[in-house]
Amino acid sequence: MNILGFFQRLGRALQLPIAVLPVAALLLRFGQPDLLNVAFIAQAGGAIFDNSH
């Protein structure tokens, strides 16, 4: 594998966390009691944050 292929794979691997974190933040916020008060939405956002080490 050449260096360009390596950086393409690295870039693809880094896109997923960058794309998922804003969605997780929105889910976490929308599930809060002062907004929609839907617990499973907040739990889904929390699960994404908990598993993103």
Cα separation, 27 vs 43, whole angstroms: 8
**In the chain, % of residues over pLDDT 90:** 91
pLDDT, the chain, mean: 93
Average pLDDT over every residue of 16-24: 92
Confidence at 52, pLDDT banded by 50, 70, 90: confident
Average pLDDT over every residue of 1-28: 93
C-alpha 2 chain-centroid distance: 30
Q: What is the pLDDT of residue 31?
A: 94
Here the tokens at position 46 are 């929390």
**Which residue is listed with tokens 């997780």?**
24
What single letter denotes the amino acid at residue 9?
A: R
Q: What kind and span of H or E run contains 33? A: none
